[in-house]
Each structure stands twice: as C-alpha cells, then as structure tokens.
Amino acid sequence: MSQTGVLAIDTAAPVIGAAYYSAYEQDLWEKRIIQGADSYLFPRLVEMMEGRTISAIAVTVGPGSFIGLRMGVSTALGLAVALNVPMIPLSSLFCRALMLRSVRVLSVLDARKSRVYAQLFSSQGELKELGAAVDQPIDQIVPEGDFWAVGEGAVRYKEQIVASGGQITLDADRSPALEAAEYAFNHLELSVRPEHIAMNYLRAFESGAKKQA
C-alpha cells in the first residue's frame, strides 16, 4: 500500500538535496554538485517517488544561488503540475535553521562578492525569526553574544564567525531537505497552487547571472 507524504527539494547551495517524509518513512538524498545539478536531481526524485503517494511538494525559493534555485523550483513546479498537488514554498535560510536546536541560530549562505545571505533565528521550540533576511558583508551580520551558525556560508566564513563568539556544526553545509520535508508535512496549511509560487532572491539579477541563465 502506498504511503502519503511530502517531497522536498533544496537547490539553494552547492550541496543540493531531495527528501521524502511521511508518518512512517523518511528518505534523503544529497550531493555536492558544481555543474549539471538537474541531471542528478531528477533521476533521484523519480526513484524517491516510486511506490509513494505525494500529497505536496516543498521547495526552497531563496535566497541562494540564482541558477540553482531556478532549477530546483522549475523542477518542483513541473512535478506539482504533473501530479496535481499543491506546493509549499520555504525560505532556504529558515530550512537551514531547522537543522539546529539552540537559543540563537545564524543561518548563512554565500552570496559571493564577499557578501552573505543571512538571518537570525531562535530554534528553541517552534522556530522563530529574530530579524529579517539580509544580503550584507559577513562582518555586518554577526550578532553579539553566543550563537550557532549553520549553512554553507558558515563554513566559508568560519574564521570570522568563530572569532565573534559563534560555533559551527561539523555538517553545517549539508542539505536541509529532510528538515524541509518534515516541516512541510506538519504545516500543510502553507500549501499554495503552483501558479502562486514566487522566488525570494533578496538580490536583483545582475548581467552576469542573466548571461548564464
């Protein structure tokens, strides 16, 4: 008998991931990919969906890599339309903060040009935002006091974060796809129709990004 669950896709950073979550079963695939992420992602999604009933598709809509996000969201859109299921758009920073349980969690993704996408959360109990997501240099977003940092940006800027009193988990740059799938499974009220999905880049497209698109 097939099980009903949520499929989640995260392609906001170099380590991309896909996950399935139901009340009875969880499945995760992740891989660090430099180029051609779509050729790896779609076959894994097909395998993950086999024998399972999908009730919704969750996807991180930003911030993060322009090209990666567009690939992940377009893949999720195609599957949602084909399966006739709703989608659950999630913040890539929020999903990474779900990976930790701490008083304060700084979720960080590399934005290039010596900048990061970052947001501070409290993850004791229900995850709460302690500020808005920003696109700023790393030295402008590190909070005072104790905190944990997570995300690919935390690994890249480890020295600055540790020097400021922060701590970083060993697997800070892993994919939060399974956490995203679990969160979406428990918050199906966030579902929207595919045509209502909107990206959250934080930064406008630049000419270089357009040429690569």
More confident residue, 123 or 3: 123
Q: Please tell me the distance from the alpha carbon of residue 88 to that of residue 1, in angstroms, as a whole number.
A: 25
Q: Which pLDDT band holds residue 2 (cuts at 50, 70, 90)?
A: low
- Closest to 191 in 3D by CA, of 44, 8, 50: 8
92 has pLDDT over 80: yes
Q: Please tell me the distance from the alpha carbon of residue 199 to that of residue 38, in angstroms, as a whole number.
A: 18
Query: Strand 166-168 to strand 147-150: parallel, antiparallel, or no bridges (unpaired)?
Result: parallel
Q: Please tell me the distance from the alpha carbon of residue 109 to that of residue 133, in angstroms, as a whole number.
A: 11
Is the distance from CB of 67 to CB of 16 less than 8 angstroms? no
Is the distance from CB of 171 to CB of 177 less than 8 angstroms? no
- Kindly report whether the peptide bond that precedes residue 63 is cis, defined as omega within 30 degrees of 0: yes
- Name the pTM for this structure: 0.92
Q: What burial letters (b/e) apply to 24-34, b meaning 16+ CB within 10 Å?
A: eeebbbbeebe
DSSP state of 211: H
Is the distance from CB of 123 to CB of 101 less than 8 angstroms? yes
Place of tokens 């040429």: 211
Q: What is the mean pLDDT of residues 21-37?
A: 93
119 has pLDDT over 80: yes
Is the distance from CB of 109 to CB of 117 less than 8 angstroms? yes
More confident residue, 39 or 203: 39
Domains of the chain: 3-92+175-212 (3.30.420.40), 100-168 (3.30.420.40)
pLDDT of residue 159: 95
